[in-house]
Copies of this chain bind each other. A is one copy, B any other.
Amino acid sequence: MLNFDFYNPTHIIFGKDRLQSIDMHVPADATVLITYGGGSAKKSGLIDKVKTALGNRKVYEFGGIEPNPRYETLVKAVEIVRSENIDFLLAVGGGSVIDGTKFISLAFCYEGDSRDLLKYGLAPIPFEVAGKTVPFGTVLTLPATGSEMNNGASISYKQGKYPVMSMLNYPKFSILDPTLTFTLPKIQVANGVVDAFVHTTEQYLTFPVNGMVQDRMAEGILQTLIEIGETTVAEPENYDVRANHVWSATLALNGLIGAGVPQDWATHMIGNELTVLFGIDHAQTVAIVLPSLLEVRREQKRTKLLQYAERVWHIESGSEEEKIDLAIQKTREFFESLGIKTHLSQYGVEADKIPVVIEQLKAHGITALSETGDITLDISQKILENAM
């Protein structure tokens, strides 16, 4: 097992009818900016309910944070935080709204050009660069990214999608009421399952370091997602199934299963370029890349792929190669059973576009990916060709 630090101070408030907890967790004298996305939280009446829970606090609103939230949008919210003396942010939405709110929180306190904050990649921004944030909470409406219980964000700017990590960026609290997710479009529910699944595999399908309990927990999340996947899409109001979807998605990326083990993230980094270039949903991009990457990287990941085959998919017979093939096939079929296509060509992207993706990775300085840093641009190209 590798040495690790694990720290996660987010207070999770989980279950039915928990909005009234907002009153206990937001300072009584706070001036609050509610942030949200395209308007469904507004139309559904959720924003009004949140305002009711905030009681007499002074409240402002900032809507319109888009999927893959854009720097250009978020700086407008920073202006409101400045002009209205906001001292608490409340994100109502999914991962994009929460990620965007994390950036607003950091950028408000940063004295220079806040585009600087996009330069740190997967390393936490040092305290001496950004040592202060506006505190924030979240009301989650989409189970997928885990942003509600971690310190990371992904911010889009021009032709790039940039990770922004800060130890200060944990939500003070997150309200996870599965019933608030009942009205989501099916595609977003399916995306959420795939997103959580691939967050888990990025921290599990690497090389073995005897993180036995971490492996078991990762396998537990994967098995749960497989168990609930089709039902959470088909039966949106099945509370227990959706509750397990929500909590699994949070646990998949709250730092726990990745503590003490290697992490890959190549699937995400390659996938991000597909989102930026072709507008493919984030979860769809990782559904395209993961099965192909596992095929290309079967030697490097052999031990864990066999463990995955046996423990997650209960494949007990066959040669090693057959077990690995079947596990990858079952992964692909699982995504497809949720209505998520797994081939790049199915999204209208032809093979002649692959060099453009590679150029884009190169332009973003992403030339050595994976848990061992040995996915070169040539291997990324092979993964994409294999994903056609």
Contacts and interface: CB of A to CB of B under 8 A. Distances in A.
Interface in A254-305: 256, 259-260
B224 A220 contact: no
Interface in A225-252: 227-228, 239-241, 243-244, 247-248, 251
Interface residues of A, number: 43
B1 A240 contact: yes
A35 B18 CA distance: 40
A260 B7 CA distance: 21
Given A11-B7, A16-B3, A243-B1, A221 B212 contact: no
A230 to B, nearest CB: 14
A60 to B, nearest CB: 28
Given A16-B3, A18-B3, A216 B210 contact: no
B1 A12 contact: no
Interface in A206-226: 209-214, 216-217, 219-221, 223-224
A13 interface: yes
Contacts of A248: 213
Given A5-B11, A7-B11, A12-B7, A224 B216 contact: yes
A213 B219 CA distance: 10
**Chain B CB within 10 Å, residue with most, of A210, A213, A259:** A213
Given A1-B244, A213-B244, A244-B1, A259 B14 contact: yes
A178 to B, nearest CB: 8
A251 to B, nearest CB: 6
A145 B20 CA distance: 34
A224 B23 CA distance: 41
A8 interface: yes
A39 interface: no
Interface in A1-35: 1-16, 18
A344 B343 CA distance: 62
A77 B129 CA distance: 41
**Chain B CB within 10 Å, residue with most, of A212, A217, A259:** A212
Contacts of A260: 14-15, 243, 247
Contacts of A240: 1, 209-210, 212
Contacts of A4: 12, 14-15
Contacts of A3: 14-16, 18
Contacts of A214: 247
5 contacts: A1-B244, A3-B18, A5-B11, A7-B11, A213-B244
**Closest 10 CB pairs between A and B?**
A3-B15, A216-B220, A210-B240, A9-B9, A7-B11, A6-B12, A1-B243, A213-B224, A212-B244, A213-B248
Given A4-B12, A8-B9, 6 more contacts: A2-B15, A5-B13, A6-B12, A7-B12, A213-B248, A216-B217
